[in-house]
Amino acid sequence: MVENARSINIVATLILLIGIVYIVGPLYLTLTTASHSYEFMLQNGLTWSFGGDLLVNIKRIFTETSIPVQMINSLIVAIGDAVTTCVLSFLSAYAIVYFRVRWASVVFALILATVILPLDMRFVTTYQVASNVFSPLNAVLDVTGLNDLITSVFGAPFHAEWSILNTHVGLVVPLLAHGMGTFLFRQFFLTLPKDLFKAARMDGAGPIRFMFDILLPLSRTTFASLFVLSFLSGWTQYLWPLVASSTAEMQTAVVGLARLVPDEGAVPDYPLIMAGAILVSIVPLTMIALLQRYLVQGLVLSEK
């Protein structure tokens, strides 16, 4: 391998070039398409040259579509997902690593199991629960026969209903159920000096104080990594927001983009859609540009 470095280099460069074209080509086409008018596109198809209608198309996104509202929805979902995932993961990893929890390893294994059971695999059940949050409780009461008891005492069986479909909460909560963040924090905590907790106790710091004074400041990088990862995954969610939201005002931007394609056979307004796609990508792109370091750290950590 080493003696052939030159030819290997050429081959490697070629492969990379092909990869770049493969990735950048469609992006370039997105830009050019977004810069033409609908009429121009109908006559000429997709072209590689730039037109002058980019700002017009972006303006049309604001005036003719729900994408701006939907971007706010996306922001709520992405930030809600990222913040809640960070908090929950931090707390659960804290409990698992620093406290002698009975069955801690079993709990951790169950949390990890959610990684191999992603949302897409438990889609139908998740939808059922989201359509009525109390349905598991109702089912348990029915199966155990407790409802018969309740009927005999109160005259009617217990039956509660609360649908979180088509709400922001409903969009976010099912996304939270994955253990990657807990794993990330756990791995990080295990790299810290193991007597830190004891030292803090000797200094008079209780568990809450230790968490705020010691663990939280030390975990800043891990927080940033997990935040970026969850934000991006929240922003790009498609299937769940598509199913869980029924009105345009509640849909996320990615779903809204797909909805710009008309259902009947007309030629879609590609310039408009591409302008929307550019707009929708700006937020995650900025995120990646600013916090790239943490993104890489998070990916490396989660693969260990």
Residues numbered 174 to 193 that lie near another protein (CB under 8 A) are 192-193
Nearer to another protein, 145 or 193 (CB): 193
Q: Nearest Cα to 133, choosing from 169, 163, 176?
A: 163
Nearest approach, Cβ of 94 to another protein (angstroms)? 16
Nearer to another protein, 76 or 214 (CB): 214
| Cβ atoms < 10 Å from Cβ of 221 | 14
3-class DSSP state of 177 = coil
Which residue in the set 55, 101, 199, 299 belongs to the binding site for another protein (CB under 8 A)?
A: 199
Is the separation of the CB atoms in 32 and 50 below 8 Å? yes
Which residue in the set 95, 165, 196, 242 belongs to the binding site for another protein (CB under 8 A)?
A: 196
d(CA 64, CA 274): 14
Q: What mask, x for binding another protein by CB under 8 A, covers residues 7 to 46? A: ----------------------------------------
Please identify, among the stretches 28-36, 53-61, 207-215, 282-290, the one whose residues bind another protein according to the rule CB under 8 A. Answer: 207-215
The amino acid sitting at 79 is I
Give the DSSP H or E segment for 145: none
Does position 195 interact with another protein (CB under 8 A)? The reply is yes
Is the separation of the CB atoms in 37 and 285 below 8 Å? no
Instruction: Give the number of C-alpha atoms closer than 13 A to the C-alpha of residue 103, restricted to the C-beta side.
Output: 5
Does position 224 interact with another protein (CB under 8 A)? The reply is no
Is the separation of the CB atoms in 236 and 284 below 8 Å? yes
Nearest approach, Cβ of 26 to another protein (angstroms)? 44
294 token code pair = 């943490």
Which residue in the set 5, 194, 212, 292 belongs to the binding site for another protein (CB under 8 A)?
A: 194
d(CA 255, CA 304): 33
Nearer to another protein, 116 or 202 (CB): 202
Which residue in the set 204, 208, 264, 289 belongs to the binding site for another protein (CB under 8 A)?
A: 204
List of residues contacting another protein (CB under 8 A): 192-196, 198-205, 209, 213-214, 217-218
